[in-house]
Structure 1
Amino acid sequence: MGRARKFFGPGLGRALIARDKGCSFTDCTIPAMWCEAHHSDPWSVSGRTRISNGVLLCGHHHDLVEQGNWTIDMRRGIPWFIPPPYVDPERKPRRNRYRHVAVTTEHPSPATPAEQSANEP
């Protein structure tokens, strides 16, 4: 899709639903059917329409992010939300723990060859 289309089509929408399972914003419980796709890098400033630049957000959190105080950091295609200084002076990235329990704020590192072989059946 890239820059040719501004809106996420049905295929990309299904991919966002499969990945995010609902609103991606920190601990929001709104289901995917009530969410809309949002560009983490705004389309208006050359953001591309693709899964790695999209997040599902409920209307409330979509408006909150659009106000520009929260930043979305895509890490390996997963959305992390960086709060404004008045919410968290350290601006630690946050993720929706309601749907994604076992996550950290660090970038996941690739598995070593020994770890890969240990995980194989």
Structure 2
Amino acid sequence: MAKQVRVPSADAESSEFVEFAHSYNGYELHGEMEGLSRLARSVRHRWQESAEVGDDLDVLRACLFYEVRGHRHSGGYGRFEQDPFVAALLTGICRLSPGPMPVKGSAG
């Protein structure tokens, strides 16, 4: 059976959200950096225009992975999960799969 992960509770430490985001390898599953960044930009644009992130769990998890990588590469300042776009992704993920979900790709 594949390893399962849950979205951390709202009062979890920021590191738990970072760990959850890394449970989905967006690079591997969405065309390396080029494909992943194209996907993440399109979802962010939709969210900026409509406040909607969509209803594809894998896409939302890929975007979360992309955002956590950007967070790390920008110095990792602030609480990752409190970024409004990240919070919208997490809300969407919880709405689509409130229970455990599989680790995907060679993440982990």
**Larger strand fraction of residues:** 1
Fold shared by both chains (TM-score > 0.5) = no
TM-score class normalised by the smaller sequence: under 0.3
TM-score normalised by L of structure 2: 0.24
More helix by share: 2
